[in-house]
Chain A
Amino acid sequence: MIAGARGRSGLAIVFIGLLAASPLFVSDFFLSAILTKTLWLGIVAASLIFLSGYGNMISLAQTGLYGVAGFVLGNVVAADGGLKVAWDPWVGVILGLVVATVVGLVFGAVASRSEGIYFLMLTLAFGILLFYFWGQVTQLSGFGGINSIQAPGIVSKPRTDPDNLFYICLVVSVAVYALIRYIVRTPFGIALQGIRDEPTRMRALGYNVALHRTLAFGLGAFLAGISGILSVWWNTRIDPGSVGLGRTIDVLVIAIIGGIFWIEGGWLGAFVFTAIDTYSRNIDWLGPRFNTLIGVIFLVIVLVSPGGLIGIWESARGLARRRSGAGAGLPPGAPAERSG
């Protein structure tokens, strides 16, 4: 973000290129269940990282908001389930994003005046509220959720022909990444970081801190909504279990594993999480205790590097550079003072 940004950009381009070529050399299963899932799950994690890293708002409502987009899409598009109106899939996409953003703005307006643990609890309450809303309002979903949600033709059949959805997720992920990187260098984004560091001073400088946070939360909801749409295309279905407390914790874990200070961490964390989640279940001696394994790996990563996997990468680079006589980049959250 601040230091080493150019090096990371170069690395990002290499990664994107490698990903773009991956359908040539990975299996359909790997492409769909690991890479495509990584991409859409990474977006919702990135929305959390955007809010927490740039706005100091650790939101536990991101999965709930991602669910809003998904459920609206499902209600509008599915022929059997929810409202059963079977409109055009693209109408569903637009409505889903609009409703998710609006709900995000409303939540944001409520939560923007609180900070720290209170903000965390409020957003957790929002997430749980949404979970029960979809579970209990059976006209819109019920706990069984909505099945067989039609995706637009461009998505093709994600089950049998995963390439299209993979490329869509890749392009959207790159766009989301670029958008966040752009936004944080606009007056809006810089001011958001100012609010993160010193809300009191921002008020004294004339900024409407609450409004600013609300809008940022709305943007976070929009990004989460994008992820929700892609997840529905990928799953062809959605139910309250997709936005429950478990999923909320998953997304938080992903963001922290990846590195809560870097947007890229969303996708990195999603990849690690998805790979562990998928493959650890095949370890015979682990049996149904694979969740414990994920917990242990999470603990180790947090202990080793509060900055997540990207944090490890950064400190490794810093170490290497110091050895060659140059300095390292510091994460924006890491304390470093030079005075005397």
Chain B
Amino acid sequence: MEQHGSRQQGRWRLWVLVGVLVLALAALAAACGGDDEAAPETAPAETEAPAETEAPAETEAPAETTEGDGAPIKLGILSDCEGAFGAFYEVDIGGAHMPMIARGATPAGANPTDGLENLPAPGGHPIEIVGYGCADDTPEKAIEETRRLIEQLGAEIMIGPLSGDEGIAVANYAKEHPEVTILNGTSGAQDTTLKVQAPNFFRFNSDGAQWNAGLGDYAYNVLGWRTAAAISDDYSFAYTSAAGFIAEFCAVGGQIPNENRIWPPLNETDYSSYAAQLAEIWDEVDGVFLGVGGAGAIPLLKAMEETIGPIDPQKVVGNLFYGDPVIVQELGDRAVGIASADSMWPDSTDPKATAWLETWDATWPDLAGFAGSVFAYNYNSAAEAMLQALEAVGGDLSDGHAAFREALAGVVLDAPFGQISLDANRQAIQDNFVRILTAEGPVTVWKIPQVAQDFGGTFTAETPPPDRTNPTCEPRELPWAGKAEVITAPEEVLGG
């Protein structure tokens, strides 16, 4: 007798179900196998029905040892692989790998995320990278990934995250998790260190406001602006970034009233309505500060050209994104002549600087040229500071990382583009640079030495955090106003 129809269909479905289950179990086994490879002492992997498994309690103190060596130091690295800054993912991870490569580690592949081999072992404790986190510039995802790296994969130290709101959320997370130490990746919201003040969160890079030090002064005194507009993303980093420009421009005598501050949402793709807003006040202002970052920079400039016409580069200054190699590469001629600022000095002739740039290109041929990116640089600074502190304490993470953190707070980095030290809130003090983009690349014109987060008392834990209307526009005392160190005369660059 023949059997047909749905009975067979039912059997087919059962087989597919069995197949899916087998695949899922294999995937889980692979996932857990990844852990076991580097950490053979971990408890049984989660390959059986999840409800019955005992996940390794990896957050406990690493008491066990392997092969006579010290217990591994578990490190997680968090960046964005999706969202506005997803394009920087490999660059970030590559930056974090550089100090380890300098200490003898070797890349496992052409891409940084392929991993490292032969990692350094400060004090006999080999560093083990437990995983790379992949967020998407939302705090939600950043926290999810932080939890995965720390709570699931057992990271004791994490480097990251990338973006402003993520940084605030992760700093808050750090506060609730005193057992881990987190070094900021490259996020630059002011609140992260100034307000949250988590004792186990360290930031070896400037915040968004520091990154604009010198730019307001430059716009007022070199470009001759008196009234300006600002267009910047509607989230914490961009608030901080605009705050740096606004505070300084107003401090030296300029005007940026609230109605000249435009805030398109992060991840906006159509900037035409915002460009139209800008066009309305175009004749009334002497220039505009661009704080739209990441993937938004190019569509914004295009929208402005369509609405306003060809843009006079002397009527525009931008924050760090408008000098970053990743973005400049895509902006092309459009950005030539625009002044921007950050803590990078890629045209420095200092041997440290050239060595950094050359080593990078040699290490990551696929990512050549990106050593001039703050993203690579800041992840590098964080990893370098971590290694120096670990070396100083012989890899000792006992007593809740007490010695390690003390060492970390005292690290003074002799970094490629200038010295980096920390203030009392574990926030970097670092040089800042104003440069002009030319067809040959950025030419640095000004250096503002050792910029601190508080802008000479303009920002404190008590002042309202930067937002759409803060800071207000008023003349203030600024420690560096009129005191920039001239690297190349701006007239020379603009004239040529």
Contact = CB atoms under 8 A, between A and B. Distances in A.
- Whether A and B touch directly in their complex, counting CB atoms under 8 A apart, is answered as yes
B176 interface: yes
Interface string A231-257: 000011111111010110000000000
A205 B192 CA distance: 61
Interface string A6-44: 000000000000110010011111101111000000000
Interface string B27-71: 110111011000000000010001111111111000000000000
A26 B59 CA distance: 14
Contacts of B148: 33, 278, 281
Given A241-B138, A276-B24, A280-B31, A26 B51 contact: yes
A284 B265 contact: no
Interface stretch (A45-53, A103-111, A135-143, A259-267): A135-143
Contacts of B489: none
B207 interface: no
A29 B152 contact: yes
Contacts of B89: 288
Contacts of B169: 144-145, 147, 237, 239
A321 to B, nearest CB: 11
Interface in A111-167: 132, 135-136, 138, 142-145, 147-148, 157, 159
Determine which residue in A30, A300, A301 has the highest number of CB atoms from chain B within 10 A of its CB, and name it: A30
Interface stretch (A168-176, A182-190, A211-219, A311-319): A311-319
For chain B, which range describes its interface: under 10, 10 to 19, 20 to 34, or 35 or more residues?
35 or more
Nearest to B179: A160
Contacts of B153: 282
B261 interface: no
B307 interface: no
A2 interface: no
Interface residues of A, number: 63
B175 interface: yes
Interface in B119-156: 131, 134, 136, 138-141, 143, 147-148, 151-153
A280 B26 CA distance: 11
Contact of B34 (A138, A282, A293, A322): A282
Interface string B12-23: 011011001000
Nearest to B37: A284
B81 interface: yes
Contacts of B81: 288
Given A138-B468, A275-B50, A312 B234 contact: no
Nearest to B20: A300
Contact of A143 (B147, B172, B235): B235
A281 B149 CA distance: 10
A27 B203 CA distance: 32
B234 A282 contact: no
A62 B424 CA distance: 44
A143 B266 contact: yes
B20 A301 contact: yes
Contacts of B168: 144, 147
Contacts of A319: 7, 10-11, 14
Q: How would you classify the secondary structure of chain A's contact residues: helix, strand, loop or mixed?
A: helix
A287 interface: yes
Contacts of A35: 51
Interface in B259-290: 265-266
Given A30-B53, A33-B147, A282-B35, A142 B82 contact: no
Interface in B225-267: 234-236, 265-266
Interface string A296-340: 010011011100000010011011001000000000000000000
Contacts of A32: 151
Nearest to B237: A144
B352 interface: no
Contacts of A312: 13-14, 17
Given A29-B151, A300-B20, A147 B27 contact: no
Q: How would you classify the secondary structure of chain B's contact residues: helix, strand, loop or mixed?
A: helix
A304 B19 CA distance: 11
A239 B17 contact: no
Contact of B176 (A80, A145, A159, A303): A159
B34 A283 contact: yes
Determine which residue in B24, B164, B177, B189 has the highest number of CB atoms from chain A within 10 A of its CB, and name it: B24
Contacts of A318: 10
A27 B235 contact: no
Given A26-B53, A28-B57, A135 B265 contact: yes
Determine which residue in B11, B81, B139 has the highest number of CB atoms from chain A within 10 A of its CB, and name it: B139
B141 A241 contact: yes
Given A147-B172, A236-B176, A282-B131, A304 B13 contact: yes
Interface string B155-186: 00000000011001100100111000000000
A50 B265 CA distance: 34
Nearest to B165: A144
A26 B54 contact: yes
B17 A304 contact: yes
Contact of B28 (A142, A148, A279): A279
A142 B234 contact: yes
A314 B10 CA distance: 11
A142 B470 CA distance: 14
A287 B30 CA distance: 13
B113 interface: yes
Given A144-B165, A159-B177, A316-B14, A239 B139 contact: yes
Contact of B10 (A238, A300, A315): A315
B29 to A, nearest CB: 10
Contacts of B27: 279-280, 283, 293
Interface string B424-438: 000000000000000
A36 B343 CA distance: 43
Given A28-B57, A304-B13, A304-B20, A239 B467 contact: no
Contacts of A142: 234-236, 467
A319 B51 CA distance: 27
B80 to A, nearest CB: 10
A138 B165 CA distance: 13
A144 B13 CA distance: 45
A288 to B, nearest CB: 4
Interface string B194-209: 0110000000000000
B265 A145 contact: no
B172 A281 contact: no
A319 B6 CA distance: 10
B55 A30 contact: yes
Given A29-B152, A147-B196, 14 more contacts: A19-B51, A26-B54, A143-B265, A145-B169, A246-B136, A281-B148, A282-B153, A284-B30, A284-B34, A297-B20, A300-B20, A305-B17, A316-B13, A319-B11
Interface of B: 7, 10-11, 13-14, 16-17, 20, 24, 27-28, 30-32, 34-35, 46, 50-59, 81-82, 89, 113, 115, 131, 134, 136, 138-141, 143, 147-148, 151-153, 164-165, 168-169, 172, 175-177, 189, 195-196, 234-236, 265-266, 467-468
